[in-house]
A and B are shown apart, each in its own frame.
Chain A
Amino acid sequence: MNDILLEGSPKTPTVHFNSTTGLLELRGRSIPENSIEFYRPLIDWIDQYAQAPKAKTLLRVQLEYFNTSSSKCILDLFKKLEQVRNAGHAVEVHWHYEVDDEDMLEAGEDYQAIISLPFKMIQVEEVDDK
Chain B
Amino acid sequence: MVNRIFDLYDDLEKDRIMLSFTGALSTGLIAAILNLVERKLEHSEHAPAVRKRVFNVVMECLHNLFHHNKHRAAADSSSGHGEGGQGVVVIAHDGRGYSVFTGNAMAQSEVDALKQRLDLLNGCGPDELRELYKNTLNNGTFSPSGGGGLGLIDMARRSGRKLEYGFIPLDNNNTFFSLNVNIAPKNHPLHHERHSP
Number of A-B contacts (CB under 8 A): 87
Which of B4-54 touch A at CB < 8 Å? 27, 30-31, 34-35, 47-49, 52-53
6 intermolecular pairs with C-beta atoms under 8 Å apart: A35-B146, A68-B150, A70-B146, A72-B150, A101-B48, A113-B134
Interface string of A24-36 (1 = CB under 8 A from B): 0000000101111
Which residue in A11, A36, A103, A106 is a CB contact (below 8 Å) of B31? A11
Once bound together, how far apart are the Cα atoms of A124 and B55, in whole Å? 20
> How many interface residues does chain A have, given as a range?
20 to 34
Q: Are A71 and B144 in contact, CB atoms less than 8 angstroms apart? A: no
From B59-67, B72-80, B86-94, B161-169, give the one contacting chain A. B59-67
Query: Which residues of chain B have a CB within 8 Å of any CB of chain A?
Result: 27, 30-31, 34-35, 47-49, 52-53, 55-56, 59-60, 63, 66-67, 130, 133-134, 137-138, 140, 142, 144-148, 150-151, 153-154, 158, 187, 189-191, 196-197
With A101-B48, A106-B130 already in contact, the answer to whether A10 and B197 are too (CB < 8 A) is: no
The prevalent SS among residues of B at the interface is helix
